[in-house]
Structure 1
Amino acid sequence: MPPTSRPLRKLGFLTIGLFDGADPGRGHESTLGIIELGEQLGFDSAWVRHRHLQYGISSPVAVLAAASQRTRRIELGTAVIPLGWENPLRLAEDLATVDILLGGRLNPGVSVGPPMHYDQVKEALYPDTADAEDFGYERVRRLLDLVRGEPATDFSGVEGFEVFSDRVQPHSPGLGRRMWYGGGSLRSAQWAGEHGMNFLTSSVVKAEESEDFAGIQLSHIRAFRAHHPDGDRARVSQGLVVIPTDSASPEQRAKYTAYVEKRTPRTVTPQGPARMMFAPDIVGTSAEIAERLHAHAAFQEVDEVAFALPFSFEHADYVQILTDIATRLGPALGWQAAT
């Protein structure tokens, strides 16, 4: 292992939870099964994506509530909940409830910005306030305050037979320290650090200072820690798509290679007006992937990862990929399975 790389301390994975619109139960059951498998393999965390008006997980908090009853150790997170779709007070209640059910294992990740295709959905989402909604960092700050136990109202006490609290109930005392921000810009990294959050850096970043993905991601990690009260000890989790092929069948290897080749052109230059850079997917044996990661400038400064599972594979493919990550790639990165 190159001396510049830290041994991997926490290994996680991320799934989108795709399903067939004609049979959504099967897809959700597959997602829960994958999370259970992750715990059995010793992963430290499992994360779910968030997709509205698509055939993916639209309610990650509900899915993780179900997973709370089928797991005992693994940490569960969201990567990420776009707050433009959420009321911070209601979301704070849901997050605290699931964290209580999990015994303090929830890691909520959030992001800001207007909902995707906002002009087409705003009348359904915010029919009376569409043009007045604030989709910036203030929405995150409100959520943080509520999760951390700040008052939500100036009223509390007994009214008749009912008892009212001035803060979100249930209150989960440790949840505020496990809030994550999913950011792809220097400003987001700095804001997350200033507000004492943890930082999720994924396979998509904004090309602000260069067009070198690893270098951009590294600058975000350093900006976050420079503004965080915990400095270099502030938690950062890196998310990249890795596809180990150690135990894959020839058919799976061919499918994985075709998947990566199809997605590679978008990684060459910044995409769209926002100049978003996409990380190349990494496919190969665990030894080959480990070598590439050890040479990755941003990976060298983290000791937590949440590797993203490809979007459109089958359940058996995910089983093979997760098994190879846990039994071969993780150890090659210095990680030891949880017990």
Structure 2
Amino acid sequence: MTNRKSIGFLSFGHWTPAPQSGTRTAADALLQSIELAVAAEELGADGAYFRVHHFARQLGSPFPLLAAIGARTKKIEIGTAVIDMRYENPFYMAEDAGSADLIAGGRLQLGISRGSPEQVIDGFRYFGYVPPEGMTDADMARKHTEVFLELLKGEGFAKPNPRPMFPNPPGLLRLEPFSEGLRQRIWWGAGTNATAAWAAKLGMHLQSSTLKIDESGKPFHVQQAEQIRLYRDAWKEAGHAGTPRVSVSRSIFALVSDQDRMYFDRDESEDQIGFLSDKERAIFGRSYAAEPDKLIEQLKGDEAIAEADTLLLTVPNQLGVDYNAHVIEAILKHVAPGMGWR
């Protein structure tokens, strides 16, 4: 259990042409994401993270955005939560990730996973990826992940052309550009205890969101805390060097203005139950919205937040950069000190 928290924001990058939206186009979503990352860094936040969804009016291809933020900022961690590995070519992804990480000076924290419910049926097939016979789409995502992690080691594997266009270094060739240390900054978004243990075995950090497969019927934050402890045990058993990191995401709003109360002063204090498929019962964690003193008391009862070292605040990005910066600042100023996070 840890008290000091790295605090960042997580944006889905929603956009819609509706008149009430402050983010009406894809260009708005991208450019406002950059500006919010800059503002968050100025406020003293630790991370700017983005969700990746395909076939949706949200953020899709992440690496141009991550590179742009890396060029505009100096200190803040820049990450994803998460990239769906069913859609990814691990080789091209390794090049994109290496480029973005070098531009950012080694600040990328890439969250990846097997994916989540989609806008279309088996969207990864449109990208040219079909699970081989006997393999599920989840198996395919994990296979892509294993290849990606191997490539990030930077070891040569490709036989050079004896008559190359440009001179080669000696030996087998690796993908370029290579960013030293990126392999140690890969996170896995785990929806179950088993995949959390698998991530630990492969030496990935853990991202746990506001959704988890319901494996015990216990409250969401209790199940999530158990998942985190299981993950850390599996990391220790695997014998990895270093300390694993764990993030949880939450919708948390400190009501410090009339505008805050207008948007978020409603009761969402209970977990929700849903189904990701006919067989997968999922539990969705509650949101938090209250005056700072009350909010602090509520958060002290969240076992998973207490276990994690990193907290990602999900932000309502369509309310605009200024308001979302206010949301982040309110947590940093009015809640984090009372929780001992700062």
Between 300-309 and 213-222, report the one with greater CA deviation.
300-309
Residues in 2 aligned to 1:76 and 1:319: alpha-carbon distance in whole angstroms: 16
1:112/1:151 Cα in 2 relative to 1: closer, same or farther (>3 Å)?
A: farther
Aligned partner (choices 74, 85, 98) of residue 87 of structure 2: 85
TM-score of the two chains, using structure 2 as the length reference: 0.86
Q: Which amino acid aligns with 2:272?
A: V
Counterpart amino acid of 2:234? H
1:269 aligns with 2:273: yes
CA contact (8 A) 2:54 2:119 kept: no
Deviation at 1:328, TM superposition (A): 1.7
Q: 1:303 & 1:123 partners in 2: Cα distance?
A: 36
Counterpart in the other structure of 1:335? 341
What CA distance in whole angstroms lies between the structure 2 residues aligned with 1:78 and 1:190?
20
Deviates more, 1:76-85 or 1:306-315: 306-315
Residues 312-323 of structure 1: pairs in structure 2 closer than 5 A: 312-323=318-329
Aligned to 2:246: 236
Give the letter for the 2:261 counterpart.
R
Q: Which amino acid aligns with 1:302?
A: A
Output the amino acid matched with 1:12. Answer: G
Q: Indicate the residue corresponding to 2:305 in structure 1.
A: 299
Partner of 2:233: 226
List runs of 5+ in structure 2 lacking aligned partners.
Answer: 18-23
Cα distance in structure 2, aligned partners of 1:156 and 1:102 = 32
Task: Identify if the C-alpha distance between structure 1 residues 34 and 157 changes in structure 2 by more than 3 Å, giving closer, same or farther.
Answer: farther
Looking at structure 1, the residues matched to 14 and 176 of structure 2 have their Cα atoms a distance apart, in angstroms, of: 32
Residue matched to 1:130? 130
Q: Is residue 84–residue 115 contact of structure 1 (8 Å, CA) maintained in 2?
A: no
AA matched with 1:55 = R
Identical-residue share of aligned pairs (%) = 26
Secondary structure of the 2:303 match is coil
| Cα distance per residue 1:55-79 (max 9 Å; x no partner) | 1111221111111111011110001
Contact 1:83/1:139 (8 A) holds in 2:
yes
Secondary structure of the residue aligned to 2:10 is strand
2:205–2:244 CA contact under 8 A, matched in 1: yes
**Root mean square deviation of aligned Cα:** 2.5
Alignment of 1:38-77 (within 5 A): 38-77=40-79
> Of residues 2, 6, 22 in structure 1, which corresponds to 2:2?
6
SS at match of 2:168: strand
Matched residue of 2:247: which SS? strand
Amino acid at match of 2:245: R
Question: 1:184 and 1:114 mapped to 2: Cα distance?
Answer: 9
Alignment-derived partner of residue 20 in structure 2: none
- Alignment partner of 2:261 out of 240, 253, 275: 253
Provide the residue aligned with 1:166 in structure 2: 173
Secondary structure at the counterpart of residue 46 of structure 1: strand
* Structure 1: distance between partners of 2:216 and 2:242: 22
Tell me, yes or no, if the aligned pair for 2:51 and 2:81 is still in contact at 8 Å. Answer: yes
Q: SS in structure 2 opposite 1:135?
A: helix
Distance 1:104 1:157, change over 3 A: farther
* 2:104 maps to 1:102: yes
Cα deviation, residue 270, structure 1: 4.4
Does the aligned pair in 1 maintain the 2:83–2:115 contact within 8 Å?
Answer: no
How far apart, in 1, do the equivalents of 2:131 and 2:178 lie? Answer: 32
Matched, 1:30 2:36: no
Tell me the amino acid that sits aligned with residue 310 of structure 1.
P
After superposition, what is the alpha-carbon deviation per residue over 1:154-209, rounded to whole angstroms, capped at 9, x for unaligned?
43776143537621211111111110001110111000100111101111111112
Task: Give the SS at the match of 1:209.
Answer: coil
**What is the rounded CA distance, in whole Å, between the counterparts of 1:251 and 1:136 in structure 2?**
42
Relative to 1, partners in 2 of residues 1:257 and 1:145: Cα closer, same or farther, differing over 3 Å?
same
Q: CA deviation at 1:92?
A: 0.8
Where do 5+ consecutive residues of structure 1 fail to align?
none
TM-score, with length taken from structure 1: 0.87
Q: Which 10-residue stretch deviates more, 100-109 or 54-63?
A: 54-63
